[in-house]
């Protein structure tokens, strides 16, 4: 292909795939501006490497491969510059005694009812989304990748640039925080 054909092909891909790629990147980052930047970087990288695309896969598959690498790099860079916020540890220290038992004010309440049908309830789903949105972005993403997207531990750790130990700690803390939020904003109001 010549340069004119390559530009035409790339323009076609931008029209066809930008919306889906933006939605994918936004789910992965939780941030529209970061998602827009990552999709733009993907198309710039594709423009630089378009001669290497031999058609062995679908263009969308090739572009998503580039995008996923950009997302992984985004989280590796953020992990390298991240600092631990002491208030996170203080919040969880108030939930447990030194021996690992719940403090009286943090003991989870009984949820009752039929929890297996909660996801069929639009109001509950709204509250759940609000609780997820209150989580630190890294926690939200970790939970989303694991439980909503079905990604395995290795992939989540690789994409987020975190250790397996950190991954399990994040999931544990996220579950505690979600439970507390749901109890406060859903179960005590029912």
Angle between helix 122-134 and 164-185 (nearest 10)? 130
The predicted pLDDT at position 85 comes to 43
The predicted pLDDT at position 113 comes to 58
The predicted pLDDT at position 84 comes to 39
The predicted pLDDT at position 87 comes to 40
From residue 156, alpha-carbon distances to 138, 140, 144, 173 in Å are 11, 12, 10, 16
Helices (H), the chain: 3-29, 32-49, 59-81, 86-93, 122-134, 137-143, 153-160, 164-185
Residue 24: CB atoms within 10 A of its CB come to: 19
The predicted pLDDT at position 95 comes to 56
Structural domains in the chain plus CATH codes = 3-81 (1.10.1740.10), 86-189 (1.10.10.10)
The predicted pLDDT at position 83 comes to 41
Non-local CB neighbours of 134 within 8 Å, separated by 6+ positions: 177, 181
pLDDT along the chain (190 residues), means of 10: 72 93 86 90 90 82 90 74 45 55 61 66 84 84 83 87 88 86 76
The Cα 111–Cα 188 span in angstroms is 9
Average pLDDT for the chain:
78
Burial of 109 (0-12, 13-18, 19+ CB in 10 A): exposed
Record the tokens describing residue 120, joined without a space.
């069929």
Angle between helix 153-160 and 59-81 (nearest 10)? 70
């Amino acid at each position: 292909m010549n340069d004119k054909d390559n530009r035409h092909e790339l323009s076609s891909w931008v029209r066809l795939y930008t919306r889906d790629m933006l939605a994918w990147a936004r789910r992965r980052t939780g941030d529209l501006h970061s998602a827009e930047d990552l999709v733009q970087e993907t198309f710039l990288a594709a423009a630089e490497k378009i001669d290497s695309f031999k058609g062995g896969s679908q263009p969308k598959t090739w572009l998503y491969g580039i995008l996923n690498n950009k997302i992984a790099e985004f989280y590796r860079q953020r992990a390298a510059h991240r600092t631990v916020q002491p208030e996170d540890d203080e919040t969880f220290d108030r939930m447990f005694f030194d021996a690992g038992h719940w403090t009286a004010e943090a003991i989870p309440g009984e949820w009752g009812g039929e929890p297996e049908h909660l996801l069929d309830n639009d109001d509950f789903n709204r509250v759940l989304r609000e609780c997820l949105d209150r989580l630190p972005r890294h926690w939200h993403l970790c939970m989303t990748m694991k439980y909503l997207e079905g990604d395995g531990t290795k992939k989540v750790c690789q994409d987020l640039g975190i250790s397996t130990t950190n991954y399990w700690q994040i999931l544990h803390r996220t579950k505690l925080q979600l439970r507390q939020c749901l109890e406060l904003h859903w179960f005590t109001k029912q």
